[in-house]
A and B are shown apart, each in its own frame.
Chain A
Amino acid sequence: AQRVTQPEKLLSVFKGAPVELKCNYSYSGSPELFWYVQYSRQRLQLLLRHISRESIKGFTADLNKGETSFHLKKPFAQEEDSAMYYCALALVTGGGNKLTFGTGTQLKVEL
């Protein structure tokens, strides 16, 4: 069965410091991975997906199939990056993408 692991419940960094939110997955097929973000009092929203290989709000994530990881990185943290971050793995089933989420990492950027 597919599984997503986010080992850190809370990550606290100073403004301007690099950020790395860890995500590991287990899946026997070809993975499709996403990062979702939930800012305080806002709805959960898509941050980025691995197939687009894009950078959103300065964040990037590279799929490493050898290490089965999809860590989220940003070189210089900003205060507005404080939020809850969820890594998710898509399983194509019955014509739709069923997402399996990790338990999330709360990122706190301190001044």
Chain B
Amino acid sequence: GAGVSQSPSNKVTEKGKDVELRCDPISGHTALYWYRQSLGQGLEFLIYFQGNSAPDKSGLPSDRFSAERTGGSVSTLTIQRTQQEDSAVYLCASSLLFSGTGYTFGSGTRLTVV
């Protein structure tokens, strides 16, 4: 596609439920990143994919968080047993391998856990 697409744009879920967030990167971008944006916290790195593998998942906050990428394209971030502190905007970005031009970001998924 022309840009990075994320869905849903908004998600309200009850505490304890599982959620899945989807990211569709720019076609041909081999690198895909997930970040979390919280008020006053800036952008927190979660996980990075190169193709379908995740060389760096150091930012995942707990084992309730997982992510996968299939076909070198679409990625899904899953949060199990959601907690209120998981409420944030989850951003996906993609880039060309060894790109010096930075990332292209999606518009994010705003997750609210009630």
Chain A: residues with CB nearer than 8 A to chain B? 9, 32, 34, 36, 43-46, 49, 51, 86, 88, 90, 92-104
Contacts and interface: CB of A to CB of B under 8 A. Distances in A.
A4 to B, nearest CB: 9
A97 B31 contact: yes
Nearest to A45: B105
Interface in B75-105: 91, 95, 97-105
- Chain B: interface size category: 20 to 34
A49 B103 CA distance: 11
A88 B45 CA distance: 12
Give me the 8 closest cross-chain CB pairs, A-B, nearest first.
A94-B55, A103-B42, A96-B31, A101-B43, A46-B102, A44-B105, A43-B107, A34-B102
Nearest to A6: B42
A92 B56 CA distance: 12
A100 B33 CA distance: 12
Interface string B21-60: 0000000001101010000111101001010000110000
**Of B33, B43, B95, B101, which is in contact with the most chain A CB atoms at under 10 Å from its CB?**
B43
Interface of B: 30-31, 33, 35, 40-43, 45, 48, 50, 55-56, 91, 95, 97-108
Contacts of B41: 103
Contact of B95 (A36, A88, A96): A96
Contact of A94 (B43, B50, B107): B50
Contact of A92 (B33, B98, B101, B102): B98
A96 B35 CA distance: 15
Contact of B33 (A36, A51, A95, A98): A98
Contacts of B104: 46
Contact of A97 (B42, B43, B95): B95
